[in-house]
Amino acid sequence: MQPEDHAFRRPAFDRRIIIIVGGYGSGKSEISVNLARQIAQNSSESVSIADLDIVNPYFRSREAAQQLEQFGVRSLVPAGPHVHADLPIIIPDIRTAIENPDGWLILDVGGDDVGARVLSSLTDAFRAGSYEMLLVLNGRRPFTADVDGAIKMITDIQDAARLRFTGIIANTHLMHETTPEIVMEGLSLARRVSQRTALPIAFVSAVPEIVSRLSSREIDLPMLELDRALVKPWEHMGNTWTDRKLRIR
Amino acid sequence: MAKILMKGNEAIAEAAVRAGAVNYFAYPITPQNEVGEYLARRLPEVGGVFLQAESEVAVGNMLFGAASTGKRVFTTSSSPGISLMQEAISYMAGAQLPVVLLNIMRGGPGLGGILPAQSDYFQATKGGGHGDYRLLVLAPSTIQEAVDLTMLAFHLADKYRNPVMIIGDGMIGQMMEPVEFPDSYTEPELPPKTWAATGADGRKPQVVKSLFLDPIALEKNNILLHEKYQAMKREEIRFECYKTAPKNKILLVAYGTMARICQTAIDELEGEGISVGLFRPITCFPFPEEALYAEATKSNIETVLTIEMSMGQMVEDVERVVARQRPVKFFGRTGGIVPSPEEVIQQIKQILASGQPTKVKV
């Protein structure tokens, strides 16, 4: 007899520092913001998020800083107008947070090896075994559409970051055109990458509309439900570039 | 081919490659750097060249040189970088060179900021450089449209032997949307480029230039260019109407991503029983004059409201076209601030109530 579908498990981690890395536009910031919120909602420990994206000034996790504050998530971002800059500003608080962990720390890193290079300036701050470094993998992005592309991304990022990956996030999607089939196709890619690299799949991520159409029997992995925070100004009401409201259910 | 998720900058880069533009010269500037990132990786696969110049001034002149050989050439930049290229753009227009330029606009004037803006409309459509010339200007509002218009841009540049500029605010470059590329790309046949400098073996050398010391020759060139711009006005007008209906009192005019924000506002207002339509120019030059005049002067329309991410640039074309047949109002935000659907709704309601938009308070 087939077991009944059960609810998806939430992502859970033993280590308190979670580094989110991946190709440009793979979904790192959206995952970082949602992870920070969900951990804050389910943990009594403090949660901080550091936006280390110094290569791209748009759609960054820092845009959700105010909204995350509602959940007690502290954002480590440059102060004043520098928050809008694409300058290599790494505020000292980030190093301090890595060296002296106090609760949870989510590091949202810029795209590709270029964006991950910033980590190499902090490599010595990480204690061995203190962090998870997760690759956000979207199989519908041009350079990570196959196993070889994904492995090249992993190698390039590791070389630039001087840190090793500990897992993969299966985040294949096509924005509003995502279907359960596209998620499953992406998961299959993630499984093949996992086999080749021996990196486990940490969790799968998708928006609630898709999650409700996925079977936890087929996907025996934790699921991160994404309540999209970094949306385009026309995607829903209540939005401006500088004053976004998270849609909280 | 399956749909993939691409940033506007990447999608435009790939579209250029598909259209056969394998000569790319550029200098980095936010928010369009992903074009260079993408092409640095992609062009070697197709035997192309990405040459990073020492400045945008050099880029402009590299474009001139490469376009003179008849090959498809391409550059991308953002507002201050495009300003630096203006001399070469004027020279290329004068020398009738086909070239495609992308401006992912950021806030100005001066160094300004790096967030989205639409404040280079004047520069793009009215001639940012010197002399009597025009660029053919295309303004996509989605990533798929950016792909389609980029491929079209190379065809139009060759067809008219004139620079074509694609303008998008920072969001067009930075946002991600699903896109599809045609499996095979075909375009209408064009005459051979007999003007190109391809080596003078067995024939007289030909010179590609914009220098005409003889006043008659220079005036002839100006008349020839002018005739091309007239032909563009006849043949290349592109626009879209959204929910234009006989019960509308207000007609919105907006282009690029601003038009999508207006669409959200229009859909929301529809739920409240307020019916509003949108006119979206896709070609900013040639401006869709006849079509806009027809929409704006329909008997039900009381006010035309232009909305831009600028202090008011395209609105001057709208005023020119509407020619005082209807009041033309304006609402805009600058500095990288993108008007929200709510702000647009508020302006529409304000106009319906009092005939005037509200001033922005910062």
> Which pLDDT score is estimated for B345?
96
Indicate the residue type of B308: E
Report CB contact under 8 Å: B339, A57: no
Which pair of structure tokens corresponds to residue A45? 């420990």
Q: Does domain B240-354 have CATH number 3.30.70.1060?
A: no
Interface test with A, best of B5, B270, B272, B338 (most A CBs within 10 A): B5
Domain enclosing residue A157, as ranges: 17-225
* Distance between B20 CA and the closest CA of chain A, angstroms: 19
- Rounded Cα gap, residues A183 and A179, in angstroms: 7
Is A82 within a domain? Answer: yes
Which pair of structure tokens corresponds to residue A114? 């270029």
Cβ(B139)–Cβ(B284) below 8 Å: yes
Question: Is there a common fold for B4-189+208-235 and B240-354?
Answer: yes
Is A245 within a domain? Answer: no
For CA atoms B234, B237, B243, B247, give the dihedral sign: negative
Is A11 within a domain? Answer: no
Of B7, B177, B338, the CB nearest to A240: B338
> Which pLDDT score is estimated for A4?
55
Is A178 within a domain? Answer: yes
* Distance between B355 CA and the closest CA of chain A, angstroms: 24
Is A180 within a domain? Answer: yes
Q: What is the mean pLDDT of residues A136-141?
A: 97
Task: Tell me the pLDDT tens digit for each residue of A66-121.
Answer: 889 989 999 998 877 777 777 778 889 999 999 988 899 999 999 999 899 999 99
Q: What is the CATH number of the domain that holds A181?
A: 3.40.50.300
Is A74 within a domain? Answer: yes
Average pLDDT, chain B: 96
- Rounded Cα gap, residues B125 and B231, in angstroms: 16
Question: Could you tell me which residues of chain A have a Cβ less than 8 Å from any Cβ in chain B?
Answer: 24-25, 55-59, 84-86, 112, 114, 138, 140-143, 145, 173-177, 232-243
Of A24, A173, A240, the CB nearest to B34: A24
**Pick from A82-86, A126-130, A134-138, B113-117: least confident:** A82-86
Please report residues of B whose CB lies closer than 8 A to that of A241.
115-116, 336-338
Of A25, A114, A242, the CB nearest to B176: A25
> Which pLDDT score is estimated for B313?
98
Average pLDDT, chain A: 88
Of B113, B171, B261, the CB nearest to A84: B113
Domain B4-189+208-235 classification at class level: alpha beta
Indicate the Cα dihedral angle A122, A114, B28, B45, nearest 10°.
170
Based on the structure, what is the number of domains in chain A?
1
- Rounded Cα gap, residues A12 and A15, in angstroms: 9
Statement: residue A189 has pLDDT above 70: yes
- Rounded Cα gap, residues A119 and A100, in angstroms: 17
Q: Domain map of chain B by residue range?
A: 4-189+208-235, 240-354
Is A237 within a domain? Answer: no
Q: Which helix (H) or strand (E) holds B193?
A: none
Residue B15 makes CB contacts below 8 A (sequence gap 6+) with B146, B147, B148, B150, B151, B181
Please report residues of A whose CB lies closer than 8 A to that of B178.
140, 174-177
- Residue B17 backbone class (left: φ over 0; alpha: ψ -120 to 50; beta: rest): alpha
Is A3 within a domain? Answer: no
The fraction of chain A above a pLDDT of 70, given in percent, is 92
Q: CB B286: neighbour CB atoms within 10 A? A: 21
Of B31, B33, B338, the CB nearest to A241: B338
Locate the chain A residue with the closest alpha carbon to B345.
Answer: A237
